[in-house]
Chains A and B, each alone.
Chain A
Amino acid sequence: MSTTKYLFSGFGGQGILFIGKFVAYKGMIEDKQVSWLPSYGPEMRGGTASCSVIVSDNQVGSPIVSNPDVLVAMNLPSLDRFENSVVAGGTIFYDSSLIERKVARGDVKAVGIPATRLASENGFPTLANMILLGKILSDRGEFTDEGIRAALGKVISARHADMLEVNLRAMQLGANYQ
Chain B
Amino acid sequence: MVVFKKPHALSDVPLHYCPGCTHGIVHRLVAEVIDELGIEGKTIGIAPVGCSVMAYNYFECDMIEAAHGRAPAVATGVKRANPDNIVFTYQGDGDLASIGTAETVHSAARNENITVIFINNAIYGMTGGQMAPTSLPGQVTQTSPYGRDVNLCGYPVKICEMLAQLDGPEYLERVTVNNVKQIKNAKRAIKKAFQNQIDGKGFSLIEVISSCPTNWGMTPQAALKWIDEKMIPYYPLGVYKDRSAEKKGDEQ
Direct contact of A and B (CB under 8 A): no
